[in-house]
Amino acid sequence: MTHLITGGGGFIGSHLADHLLADTDNDVLLLDDFSTGAETNIEHLRDHSRVEVLRADVRDRNAVFDAVGRADLVYHLAAAVGVQRIVENPLASLQTNLEGTENVLEAAAEDGTPTFLASSSEVYGKSENVPFSETDDVVYGRTTAPRWGYATAKATDEFLALAYHDERDLPVVVGRYFNIVGPRQTGQYGMVIPTFVDQALAGEDLTVYGDGTQTRSFTHVADAVEITHELLETESAHGEVFNVGAPNPTSINELAERVIDLTDSGSEITHISFEEAYDEDFEEPDQREPDVTKLRETLGWAPEPDLDRILSDVIEERTDREVPAR
């Protein structure tokens, strides 16, 4: 079975590759332009006999059609990610997240190749109706704030995927990831856990944006990739949207304190405003928590909250390594 992972050089994609390769019947194609993904994520797979790396842009239609044509299953994870990157490069981000997805879905529809689409809890926008359920309405901010471009692009990707399912019989499943974290995630694009861990290990202040009472539900990447694979292989999941996350709302202040405890660091916590961190148009949702009833009913399980396991794994990875300059 040949599995194509777009964004395969990225954080989640590289873990998904490891997960799939544990089964010796699987071959893996990794398509990535390495814009945010790192060569180091897949260094250990370079000489693997069942892995092929395709350096390409998902906006390149021919490259996508070639790659999808060789695959039995497709996981579309390539995207411009990270709030900071979206705010700084709105145009390229939108093009990647819209055109790239349409290329993948159109190519997959040619042969009816089952496809997983990586969506995001961002799709819920600034809804306050926690925990978020897949059938909930979404609430977005104004179009002059680039932050909402990511949410609406992912929402449009979902519309496209469901339309390909309904009109072209594409077996496609949408997974809305909620703050997936773990080893290999970079702090470069505003991801909070690697940033806090690096700051704590360096004895620097941990920088909390806003007043730090905003909550997020963190999910271990190992659980996320297992669910991703299972959803795609579950026929009843096709044509459906699922929250993929562990319901464990943790405030950013609590997170910072836990990182300091677990690293035994003498760091302090400082707060800076979102306006200072991004721009004056910036809006940050207060709460993000998934309702995982549908996931549990479909697969028979959902990720358990385990912040300490996540933090220990990230701390272990980042201890004793050279910390890149921010």
- In angstroms, the CA 261 to CA 255 distance is 10
Among 4, 5, 9, 151, binds ligand NAD (CB under 6 A): 9
- In angstroms, the CA 57 to CA 54 distance is 9
Stretch that binds ligand NAD, among 4-12, 132-140, 141-149, 198-206 (CB under 6 A): 4-12
Stretch that binds ligand NAD, among 17-25, 30-38, 165-173, 232-240 (CB under 6 A): 30-38
Q: Which of the residues 162 through 221 are near ligand NAD (CB under 6 A)?
A: 177, 179-180
Among 96, 214, 265, 298, binds ligand NAD (CB under 6 A): 96
- In angstroms, the CA 258 to CA 208 distance is 13
The closest alpha carbon to 216, from 121, 137, 295, belongs to: 121
Exposure letters 287-305 (e unless 16+ CB within 10 A, then b): bbbbbbebbeebbeebbeb
- In angstroms, the CA 269 to CA 259 distance is 11
Kindly state the number of chain residues that form the binding site for ligand NAD, as judged by CB under 6 A: 27
Cα 172 → chain centroid = 18
Among 10, 149, 182, 187, binds ligand NAD (CB under 6 A): 10
Min dist CB 266 to ligand NAD, Å, is 29
Query: Are the C-beta atoms of residues 309 and 183 closer than 8 Å to each other?
Result: no
Q: Regarding beta strands 180-181 and 219-220, do their DSSP bridges make them parallel or antiparallel, or are they unpaired? A: parallel
The closest alpha carbon to 146, from 57, 237, 83, 236, belongs to: 83
Among 78, 197, 225, 227, binds ligand NAD (CB under 6 A): 78
Min dist CB 153 to ligand NAD, Å, is 9
Q: Binding mask 97-116 vs ligand NAD (x if CB under 6 A, - otherwise)? A: ---x----------------
- In angstroms, the CA 60 to CA 94 distance is 15
Residue that is written with structure tokens 């933090």 in the block: 311
Min dist CB 199 to ligand NAD, Å, is 19
162: number of Cβ within 10 Å: 17
Among 3, 4, 11, 102, binds ligand NAD (CB under 6 A): 11
Among 4, 79, 222, 241, binds ligand NAD (CB under 6 A): 79
Active site residue 177: no
Catalytic residue, from 75, 140, 150, 209: name it.
150
Among 17, 42, 45, 58, binds ligand NAD (CB under 6 A): 58
Q: Which positions touch ligand NAD (CB under 6 A)?
A: 7, 9-13, 32-37, 57-59, 77-81, 96, 100, 118, 120, 177, 179-180
Residues with catalytic function: 150
